[in-house]
Amino acid sequence: MNTLFQIKVQLMGVKKPPVWRRLLIPTRITFYELHLIIQEAMPWLDYHLYEFTMPNVIATDPTYVDEDCTPQEDTVYVDARMTMIFLPLMVFGKLDYYYDFGDGWHLKITLENVIENSESLLPQLVAWKGTAPPEDVGGTGGYEYFKEVMADPSHEEYEELKEWALGQFYGDPDMDEINRTFGDFFEDPGFVHTINPYQLVAEHEDLNNE
């Protein structure tokens, strides 16, 4: 049976305007693949660490747990690359996603619907609101300041921040391009991603250039 989850991913702490994405995602994917989908939908650049939290369980990159994390008591840490989203999302209905522990982005994931007998098993961005903050902007406070400067072309920092934002690919999500990327990433329904496909391309190009 071809089954999809319809989820809403809401960026917390940003309200004018709010920032959210509504997505259709395959029920069979891992937490790491959900991370990749969210990164593409915002869009962000997958620069930083991340984790998904639910009662007494955290799904994250195991190297972070081994090297940088101070484990929380009574919490089980699982490998996001090997842990499926199906049961946690069905049981809890909501998950918390944290990205970039410096800027401290917190996103609330809410299960809105379960769609059975879908014609496609590809992830899809179906609706959105609000431009996501650029990478490394400095959290909610930094983003508010960034928006103030970008709204005032006469501001002394406007040109510098505008050029910086272009380098961060800051802007509204292009739904058609994002959904084409999802189609490329998830063309093979039996393939499980354990690395960002963009990184695979970069590594392949590096090998060819050696």
Question: 84: alpha, beta or left, given left = phi > 0 and alpha = psi -120 to 50?
Answer: beta
pTM: 0.91
Q: How many Cα atoms occupy the beta-carbon half-sphere of 79 within 13 Å?
A: 8
What residues does CATH 3.10.290.30 cover in the chain? 4-132+173-194
Q: List pLDDT tens digits, range 26-78.
A: 999 999 999 999 999 999 999 899 999 999 999 999 887 766 667 677 889 99
Confidence of residue 159 (pLDDT cuts 50, 70, 90): very high
CATH homologous superfamily for the domain 4-132+173-194 = MM3350-like (3.10.290.30)
Nearest of 117, 128, 107, 129 to residue 27 by alpha carbon: 117
The Cα 173–Cα 185 span in angstroms is: 17
Angle between helices 139-150 and 158-167 (to 10 degrees): 120
